[in-house]
Amino acid sequence: MNYSSLEECLIDLERNHHLVRIKEEVDSYLEMAAIHLRVHEAAGPALLYENVKGSKFRAASNIFGTLERSKFIFRDTFAAVQRLIELKNDPVKAIKQPFKNFNTGVAALKALPLKNPSAKPVLAHEISISDLPLIHHWPMDGGAFVTLPQVYTEDIDQPGIMKSNLGMYRIQLSGNDYELNKEIGLHYQLHRGIGVHHTKANKKGLPLKISCFVGGPPSHTLSAVMPLPEGISEMTFAGVLGGRRFRYTYVDGFCISTDADFVITGNVYPGENKPEGPFGDHLGYYSLRHSFPLMKVHKVYAKKNAIWPFTVVGRPPQEDTSFGQLIHEIAGGAIEEEIPGLKEVNAVDAAGVHPLLLAIGSERYTPYMPAKQPAEILTIANHILGTGQLSLAKFLFITADDTGRLNTHDVPHYFEYILKRIDLTRDIHFYTNTTIDTLDYSGTGLNSGSKVVFAAYGDVKRELGTEVPLALKELHDFYNGQLVMPGVVALQTKSFTTYESAQKEMDALNEQLQLEVGELSSVTLIVIADDSSFVADKLNNFLWVTFTRTNPSHDIYGIAPFIKHKHWGCNGPVVIDARIKPRHAPPVEKDPIVEKRIDHLFSKGGSLYGVIK
């Protein structure tokens, strides 16, 4: 289906049993988000909220809640988009097989945006921010947020849609010090295209014009989060993916997506910031209040019978997980094509995406050498950490696989492969005092922290233990040893206080174990946690706790460690201190009162009765 509107998509989903209408009045303060979370956790349908308390507009969520439903939405264009990206990576194919690729070329004709169509439905009503469904997602959130915005900016030096940027940068609509209806917050992070536009406008002392599109055809939403290869515009991609040219016009100098359900326009003036947040974010913690650009609202538009789409982010997996899966299927090997020698990469969703990256590369530098050790994969690792949003990776594990059977998405097998082969005296490489993800509070400050690369290649060096060694059961101050996976053990100790105390605690652990290195040969990694049973209970718990709560330069220790020629290594297991630190943001948690309040919707007679099995 080539949808011309969000409503057309929702009607199609309902017709095919992918959507349920909620007729009861629901409160935008916590209730709508709680309903969404409960349904999403059960892999339930998309939701259409027909009676939002305090707003005349309907709302929709969980539209992309499963990969199956996301692929269903784009079923008519999915293959053509994949083919276009493939041809961009290898354009010679189009020349060699012109007839086979003819339909792909026809699909590409949808890429050119269509300016100033006669119909401008989104301009039907001029409204205020307070008229919108002001959805408050988590109890500690600073106000209401737009969670599926399409934020549009243009290059002040090269104006026009073909040099524009469309990104999904969260918008705070209310709360904090914002003057309702006149001011809203614009939060964007490192390595985002909007930052380039903002910098250029600031240098000229001019305001950056912002247009925030909400709703419209689902292809527009996905395009805003798509990490497109260099040279492909989000608007052209939206046209191809949606099978319908991106329609736009200009009003008061602001670009307007005429198919959107809502458009918020405004200006960001040089040097004008206000505190934004907190906000329950996709790492599973709150991002706290920080100074971010202030957007002065110009006008707000809504089409007739407009629908407000939203999502809820929190500890993964959430709906944005489906975005990631869909993007991976669409883009195929686009990222790998950009980095020579890279075969596969996986930003692990369960670890919050940026904190943990798994990669498979090639080793072709010294085929004449009998000994196998990391060489080319170190070059690839540096390339990864210098490429777009991949550069936000905090822990990068990389290897080469001569068998061709290793898969970064089979996380347990991948870790087993790495942990069997890694040389702990040689293969750990730190990057200190550098940038990390804005939402990651494990570092030394906002956007500041460290990175580490574990680069393993070669023959098997050890067999991994499947039991907790006796030496890890008879420790002072460290207890409740739990096997997480072969070669990985979680230990529990008292709460973290300071790094000075942590160093003493890790020194004490080393003193107890450095003479037991032989007995620990089957253990590659020890995770120190607040609750070792929780870490070992599920793979996702291990990934979440270990990689979101640690700053590599500060929290990685080792048994029998050493520094030689400025290189750090250890003769025994690596130790990662994954306890919660005082500067960490609190994890998001549901409100039990709100949970009880929405129970009636799932009971007999409620709109969602029988939706969750």
Domain positions in the chain are 6-310, 319-456, 470-577
Model confidence, pTM? 0.90
Return the ∠ at Cα 591 (arms to 590 and 596), rounded to 5°: 110
Residue 249: enclosing H or E segment and its boundaries?
Answer: strand 247-251
pLDDT number for residue 110: 76
pLDDT number for residue 94: 37
Residue 456: enclosing H or E segment and its boundaries?
Answer: strand 448-456
Which tokens in the block code for residue 134?
């002001």
Q: How far is CA 24 from the centre of its chain?
A: 32
Question: Percent of the chain beyond pLDDT 70?
Answer: 93
pLDDT number for residue 90: 47
pLDDT number for residue 196: 86
Nearest residue to 76 (alpha-carbon basis) of 218, 261, 260, 247: 218
Domain 6-310 in CATH 3.40.50.720? The answer is: no
Q: Are 176 and 275 in contact (CB under 8 A)?
A: yes
Query: Phi and psi at residue 377, in whole multiples of 5°?
Result: -65, -25
Measured between alpha carbons, how far is 420 from 399 in angstroms, rounded to an integer? Answer: 12
Nearest residue to 21 (alpha-carbon basis) of 57, 59, 58, 47: 47
Same fold, 6-310 and 470-577: no
Measured between alpha carbons, how far is 205 from 271 in angstroms, rounded to an integer? Answer: 9
Measured between alpha carbons, how far is 13 from 73 in angstroms, rounded to an integer? Answer: 8
Other beta carbons within 10 angstroms of residue 584's beta carbon come to: 17
Return the ∠ at Cα 81 (arms to 78 and 82), rounded to 5°: 85
Tell me the β-bridge partners of 225. Answer: none
Q: Are 260 and 302 in contact (CB under 8 A)?
A: no
Q: Are 436 and 392 in contact (CB under 8 A)?
A: yes
pLDDT number for residue 188: 84
The CATH code for residues 319-456 is 3.40.1670.10
Other beta carbons within 10 angstroms of residue 126's beta carbon come to: 10
Residue 197: enclosing H or E segment and its boundaries?
Answer: helix 193-203
Nearest residue to 568 (alpha-carbon basis) of 552, 580, 583, 550: 552
Residues of the chain with pLDDT under 50: 89-104
Q: Are 4 and 12 in contact (CB under 8 A)?
A: no
pLDDT number for residue 102: 37
The CATH code for residues 470-577 is 3.40.1670
Residue 466: is it exposed, middle or buried by C-beta count within 10 angstroms (0-12/13-18/19+)? exposed
pLDDT number for residue 334: 62
Q: Are 294 and 266 in contact (CB under 8 A)?
A: no
